[in-house]
Structure 1
Amino acid sequence: MKSFYDLLSQKKKQSILPIFGFADVSAWEKETKYPTAPDFYPTNIFPEAKTVIVIGVPVVLPILETTPSVYYNEHQNNLNVVLENEIITLSSFLNRLGFASMPTARGGYSEMSVLIEKPMAAFSHRHAAYHAGLGAFGRNNVFLTKKYGPRVRFATILTAATQSELGVSKKKQKKSIAQKKKFEKNGLCIDCMACSKFCPIQAIGGDSKNTYPVVKTDKSRCAAYLDELGKKGTSRCGVCIKVCPVGKDRILFDRRNISIYNESEIGGEKKERLIRAWNHIRDYGTKK
């Protein structure tokens, strides 16, 4: 029988789950650069946990570019459904194999308004992705990957199985740890400050000398704005991940010049066509 690792590898080949990784729960206790409080360790969510399994699906850039829009809102919701279905199915599969496992909530909050007073969830998928060696933190609290920049949504499974029991070879485990160290040292953020400059509510610090965790998003302010957009039925912003120049998806969609997102400035024919397309989508399906 194929291992759990082989199962995820097959899903990756079929483009069902383009991104996945594994991390030992001990990584949270050892972390010094991007620490989290013990209350947010995997073992505080599932005491039996030994391994954290992270899966990710990319946000499609041209849909994200329409934000705020019902198109992006539905896209985000659909990605969450894909992730939730996968972690439930995969957890059930592991439980049938005799490895106690549980999926974590994709969002972890009842509605956006609750984040205004308490702007955090019980578990951070971004830190899980970081410990799995999938990328690096950017200027604020976004998580960057080489292929998609910050345009990835993650979900996590906590399991009592070790990585070896899941079929992750020692060689692959060492490679993941090496990738994490490389991302920790070199990062992926290019300090362009686009996330801060384009933020519609100036919720991201503008000090170019500091990065996360020194510079963070004003989460309460951000949540209040997202709640306001949500009441109109539109997407919950996403501007900071839209304008980030990191990611090979920008090459695929020919979006390397992020000046196209300054919609108030006159641009060439391509920019005008893009803005017309975005505005067309924004004009339909939501409250004014």
Structure 2
Amino acid sequence: MKEVARRVGAHLVGIASAERFSLAPEGHRPSDILPNAKSIIVVGLRVPLSIVRSIPSPLYEEAYNHLNERLRSIVYDITFYLEDKGFDATPISPDEPDYYREVRVMEGKEPKVKMLATFSHRHAAVLAGLGEFTPASYVVVPKFGPRVRFASVITSAPLEPDPIIANGFSWGLICKPEVCGLRCVKACPVKALPGDGTVDQYKCRRYRGPKVYTIEYFKRIEELRRKEVPPHIIKILLPSEYRSPSAHLCGLCLKACPIGIEM
């Protein structure tokens, strides 16, 4: 199976059993997407180092979009292969619009926003033995650090899972903050990374698109999701500037990470 994934273009591939996702929130486990799920195939594509070094630049946004499109093609090719072999398979794209996510808004002097994707490729990558989490919440792999985009295929095929190399959902084997001095955390221009493995999504998004990512934007999605409005209808109900947000990518925390370069 790994050879198939590499043949269709994956730079990295790992396999996790569905049982490893038992601690995932209800509604976000492999079996919630594919009831007879047995295995998850996680594929990754590296981001060219020269492009990461150019951050902030349009080159990074172009690479982000290009790699996402390639990953979609890869997971669909894997899905078709598995179906031809008689197994069920569901491809999960590398990115997801906000109106598909669970959103929780906590208002106050410093508002907070929590967003939960339908399926976490980051957790899947860790559970498939590809890498480990970091204080900045992204996943790092030994060779490429955080400069990787992931996507997944959930399948009924009973595949041999890879050993988990990470220290649970913490860090210390690949990511060693005591060595680099938390460069990722210090690189954030709006202090959205407290260094405990979480991200202040509101601060991060506001920096990337202050005219788009307002509290009203997140509250509207939260309200419609709670009313169980289908995502494609939520998209229509959001103001037009939210459907095509004029926001940009940041990536300064990725640029600061020395893993795969100096470490």
Structure whose CA Rg is larger? 1
SS in 2 for 1:44: helix
2:175 is the counterpart of 1:189: yes
2:7 is the counterpart of 1:7: no
CA distance in 2 between partners of 1:101 and 1:93 (Å): 9
Corresponding position of 1:222: 204
Kindly indicate whether the alpha-carbon contact (under 8 Å) linking 2:43 and 2:151 is maintained by their aligned counterparts in 1: yes
CA distance in 1 between partners of 2:136 and 2:115 (Å): 14
CA distance in 1 between partners of 2:123 and 2:176 (Å): 20
**Match of 2:142, as an amino acid?**
K
Change (3 A) 1:181 1:65: closer
SS in 2 for 1:179: coil
Change (3 A) 1:82 1:152: same
Corresponding position of 1:17: 10
Change (3 A) 1:183 1:75: same
2:186 is the counterpart of 1:202: no
**Match of 1:240, as an amino acid?**
C
Corresponding position of 1:241: 254
SS in 1 for 2:185: helix
Quote how far apart the aligned CAs of 1:181 are.
5.9
**RMSD after superposition:** 2.9
Unaligned runs of 5+ in 2: 106-112, 213-243
Quote how far apart the aligned CAs of 1:205 are.
0.8
2:30 is the counterpart of 1:78: no
Corresponding position of 2:26: 38
Of Structure 1 and Structure 2, the greater strand share is in 2
Aligned counterpart in structure 1 of residue 53 of structure 2, from 48, 65, 68: 65
CA distance in 2 between partners of 1:205 and 1:185 (Å): 15
Aligned residues between the structures: 221
CA distance in 1 between partners of 2:247 and 2:96 (Å): 20
SS in 2 for 1:154: strand
Quote how far apart the aligned CAs of 1:73 are.
0.8
CA distance in 2 between partners of 1:74 and 1:121 (Å): 23
**Match of 2:199, as an amino acid?**
T
SS in 2 for 1:119: strand
Corresponding position of 2:149: 153
Corresponding position of 1:179: 165
Quote how far apart the aligned CAs of 1:69 are.
2.0
CA distance in 1 between partners of 2:97 and 2:147 (Å): 21
CA distance in 1 between partners of 2:127 and 2:118 (Å): 17
Unaligned runs of 5+ in 1: 30-34, 251-255, 258-288
Change (3 A) 1:121 1:183: closer
TM-score, normalised to structure 2's length? Answer: 0.74
**Match of 1:221, as an amino acid?**
K
Of Structure 1 and Structure 2, the greater helix share is in 1
